[in-house]
Amino acid sequence: MKFPIFNLIFTVFLFWLTIQLEASYEEYLSYFFILTIGIIHGSNDISLIKVVKKQNRLPFKYLLFYVGLIVINIAAFLISPTLALLFFIFISCYHFGEQHFHNRIKRHDMLSKLLFLSYGSLIFGLLFYFNSESTSIIINDLIGYSLTEVQFLWFMAIGIASTVVLYSLNYKNFKESSNHFQEIFLILLFAILFKLAALLWAFAIYFIVWHSLPSLMDQIKTLYGESNKVNIVHYIKSSFVYWLISILGLILLYIATTYFEINFITVFFAFLAAITVPHVIVMYFLNKN
């Protein structure tokens, strides 16, 4: 598997920005990247559903189901925020691991799916542990309960142990081009990144550079055959309406947080959760096919 040189250079550049910028500018950049590249990478789900269902026109029931999932997730955070948060972390762990490994695995069976889940748990475990104080504040705002650094340590340890075991069990299922030393290097890179950067900035760097951009390239290849400048423009144009709706929804949430004096970053993560779940389901069936 060819090493993602661009991703590495971009990450090093953002590392450099971490040293140069004040914390407030890091936060602004984080929101900018997440609200542009991050949301755009999940804004073409309707077109992807057409590919999955092999239909030129998508029946209204699929669109209704997709919007319904978003509404259900918002309602879940209002009714049972603890369960909603646990489900969001669970499905996000799987999604991050799936994006990272789906092109490296020969067949997608139960063992490979467990590897996806464990790898995503490792990523989140590193992120949460090295930013335990900030993470605990957000979790407390969401569910009214604070987690300790030791609990985050256990979560990270379970992620590491399960990934090592499942990686070994999937060893023969990896494509011959896979570079196993590269995987170790990337984990060390992410650990350093999460240790040095603040929570939101660390999340933004990983989410954009190592998840959203690779996912964008995969989606463009699926929809248009290859990833080039022309097809990237096509992708952005077809995503624009859905992206704009998401941004308008977030603006309304921001106004609401200002009026009710709620911590915006807490609502921001709840918003990400609401739009992430349907996207994860679409990508699951797309990768399965």
Average pLDDT, the chain: 86
How many CB atoms are closer than 10 A to CB 54? Answer: 7
- Identify the pLDDT of residue 4: 78
pLDDT tens figures, 207-249: 999 999 999 988 888 888 888 888 888 888 888 888 888 888 8
Q: Which amino acid is at 43?
A: S
Q: How confident is the model at residue 126 (pLDDT cuts 50, 70, 90)?
A: very high
pLDDT tens figures, 17-32: 877 777 778 888 888 9
Q: Among the listed ranges 38-52, 122-136, 257-271, which one has the minimum average pLDDT value?
A: 257-271
- Identify the pLDDT of residue 2: 61
Q: How confident is the model at residue 56 (pLDDT cuts 50, 70, 90)?
A: low
Report the domain count for the chain: 1
CA distances from 200 to 103, 127, 173 (A): 28, 10, 34
Task: Name the percent of the chain lying above pLDDT 90.
Answer: 32
Backbone angles phi, psi at 102, to 5 degrees: -65, -30
pTM over 0.85: yes
Most confident of 43-57, 199-213, 266-280: 199-213
Domain span at residue 26 reads 5-288
